[in-house]
Chain A
Amino acid sequence: MIAAEVRTRSVKAGEHLQLLRSLASELERAMDAMSRNDLQEFEDSIASQQDLSEQLSRLADELSAASQPTYPLPSQSADSDLMHEIRTATGELQRLNFRYSILLEHSSRSVALMASLFTSFQGQLQEASGPGLKHQTWSCQM
């Protein structure tokens, strides 16, 4: 029974690692899509991120439950290399998440400004070279 529980925990830890890597890959994809202003791909990536996050949350709950086993498990209940890989993947994901949050913060601000400009300005987004005409565009932004 103990061996079975250890095996189950290792399998789940392996799944967890795979999901962490997939989520990291999705964050990269989302950032790339944002850079290219590829809205469709960005939205697709967010949908995948939501799905992966849900799977990870569910798996984390299951692993928490498995950490209080029926039988006392050996302290090293899962492969130490696997644990090391999970730790590395988590670190990488957190780093990407940090970068992603900064990018979102700046992009959100830009898009909010752009949105207010577009909704308040119904003309052509063209501006003449003369200082006078340039002035008009600036007042629209304000």
Chain B
Amino acid sequence: MGGLTTSLLTGMQALNATQAALAATSNNIANSNTAGYTREVAQMSEKQEQLIGGTVVGGGVSLNGIQSVRDELINLQIQQQASQRSEADTESSSLQPVQNFFSSTGNDIASTLSAFSSSLLQLSASPSNAAVQESVLTSGQNLAQSFNSTANGLTSAQTTADQQVTTTVAQINSLTQQIAQLNAQLSPSVMTQQNGGTIEDQRDQLVQQLSTLVGISVTQSSDGEVITTGNGTPLVMGGQSYNLQTTTGSDGLQHVLDSNGNDITSNIQGGQLGGTLQIRDHVIPGFLNSLNTLASQFATAFNSAQAAGYDSNGNAGQAFFTVPSGTTGAAAGISVAITSGSQIAVSSDGSAGSNGNVANLSNSLTNALPSGQSAANAYASLVYQVGNAASNASDKSTALSQSILQLTNQQNSVSGVNIDEETTNLIRFQTAYEAAARIISTIQALNTATINMVS
């Protein structure tokens, strides 16, 4: 009797276990194209044998539960690199419009500086010609306007980045609240033995999204995941989320505060928010500072050349450009001070028809400014800085995308790995990376040789 019942029970258990396994497989197939889905497997174990009527009878199979196959280390790596890629993407996309202010349009600083130089050359040939004098005045006004529009463009890009801060912080808060809710659903007291794979998948997806918004650190506690920003500001602790806030600082820009009201703006790194703050607080101010220095030093040098001569009316040369004192706001505030071409100090001695001071005026455009470079070269350096920053951000993003792809491929093949084979492969990878790193140095050294050859 016992034999038949036992066999039936064993059969039922096997059927239940197999059905669960089939359900898991079916679920895997159904979700094969679902983003963020983690493969599930049925975990079965052999039940203890029983001694019935002096005979040892197999205990059958028992279903322990459905488990998700995941590798948290790879998840962590992907989160970190996704955060850095997002930061690079944000920097790259923010720098694209900035590049436009420096591209050759005919109204850019390089073009108007060149036109100003040409007009001075004509003035040297015809110092008393009123039309030529007016042409110099107009060219000077165009140059000043180029400085103004470039500076205003940079300030506008900074304002756009500033507005993005508030939006991104709101998105971060929305995600941390959702993650905290899922953490609460996954807490041991609620979950007991249930399969939380689907909820974990949802949470992983949200954490991935969060990592693209700001650099985060994820750790585990008995209550679930603990998420902080890179500098340790808590965002989620188990079922509790901690909202970030924004406030307008004394500099007129949005500052990010933690839930206790501490200003954490300068500590935020990574993700869209880190990239936005980097652009707003470091990159654009750096460009603006260079532009202001150029505007201020150029205007001072040209005004000095003006002061060394006399205008067509025999008066001592007065300042050609008006520029705010100091460098702050120089590019945005530079303007032409004189109102007539006759006020250009063409003469070195005040005599009619003299062009003795035009050379001084022209030299102020080609001589080195206090920064060590001529105005044209200083501007070219600035253009290079802008282009290089945009190019580096874009290259960094591309490299990180490839690295993330590598990790994603690794994540997809994580189940059923052969530990020994993987370890061997990893050591081979390490050796290959070391060899590759040496080649990178060689290529950098080769660059010098090539430059010497073609120069």
Contacts and interface: CB of A to CB of B under 8 A. Distances in A.
16 contacts: A35-B406, A35-B409, A46-B439, A53-B443, A56-B449, A67-B453, A86-B454, A104-B437, A111-B429, A113-B73, A117-B73, A121-B419, A128-B67, A129-B67, A131-B220, A134-B72
B67 A86 contact: no
B222 A131 contact: yes
Interface string B56-84: 00000000011111111110110001001
Contacts, number: 197
Interface string B406-450: 110110011101010011011111101101110110111011011
B156 interface: no
A64 B422 contact: no
B71 A127 contact: yes
A138 B399 contact: no
Given A34-B402, A127-B72, 6 more contacts: A64-B452, A86-B450, A112-B430, A129-B195, A129-B197, A137-B72
Given A31-B402, A63-B453, A119 B446 contact: no
A130 B423 contact: no
Contact of B454 (A31, A34, A83, A134): A83
Interface-centre pick from B224, B399, B422, B447 (highest chain A CB count, 10 A): B399
A125 B414 contact: yes
B452 A67 contact: yes
Contacts of B84: 106
B440 A97 contact: yes
Contacts of B422: 114, 118
B454 A127 contact: no
A24 to B, nearest CB: 10
B45 to A, nearest CB: 13
Contact of B395 (A50, A98, A114, A130): A98
A39 interface: yes
Contacts of B452: 64, 67
Interface-centre pick from A20, A98, A121, A126 (highest chain B CB count, 10 A): A126
Given A112-B430, A141-B72, A53 B437 contact: no
Contacts of A49: 436, 439
A59 B145 CA distance: 50
B222 A87 contact: no
Interface residues of A, number: 67
Interface in B375-421: 391-392, 395-396, 398-400, 402-403, 405-407, 409-410, 413-415, 417, 419
A72 interface: no
A18 interface: no
B188 A130 contact: yes
Contact of A129 (B68, B440, B443): B68
Please report whether the interface of chain A is mostly helix, strand, loop or mixed according to DSSP.
helix
Interface of B: 41, 43, 65-74, 76-77, 81, 84, 186-188, 191, 193, 195-197, 200, 219-220, 222, 224, 391-392, 395-396, 398-400, 402-403, 405-407, 409-410, 413-415, 417, 419, 422-423, 425-430, 432-433, 435-437, 439-440, 442-444, 446-447, 449-454
Interface string A70-103: 0000000000000100110010011101111111
B447 A90 contact: yes
B186 A111 contact: no
B399 A122 contact: no
Contacts of B396: 99, 102
B439 A60 contact: no
A50 B436 CA distance: 9
A121 B422 CA distance: 12
Contact of A114 (B73, B222, B391, B454): B73
Interface string A26-47: 0000111011110100110010
A107 interface: yes
Contacts of B451: 90
Contacts of B65: 128-129
Contact of B423 (A23, A99, A101, A115): A115
A62 to B, nearest CB: 10
Contacts of B442: 53, 57
A23 to B, nearest CB: 7
Contacts of B398: 99
Contact of A119 (B423, B436, B440): B423
Nearest to B406: A35
B453 A16 contact: yes
B66 A129 contact: yes
Nearest to B405: A35
Nearest to A98: B395
Contacts of A60: 446, 449-450, 453
Interface-centre pick from B69, B219, B400, B439 (highest chain A CB count, 10 A): B439
A113 B78 CA distance: 13
B291 to A, nearest CB: 26
A99 B405 CA distance: 15
A113 B77 contact: yes
Given A53-B442, A129-B200, A64 B406 contact: no
B35 to A, nearest CB: 19
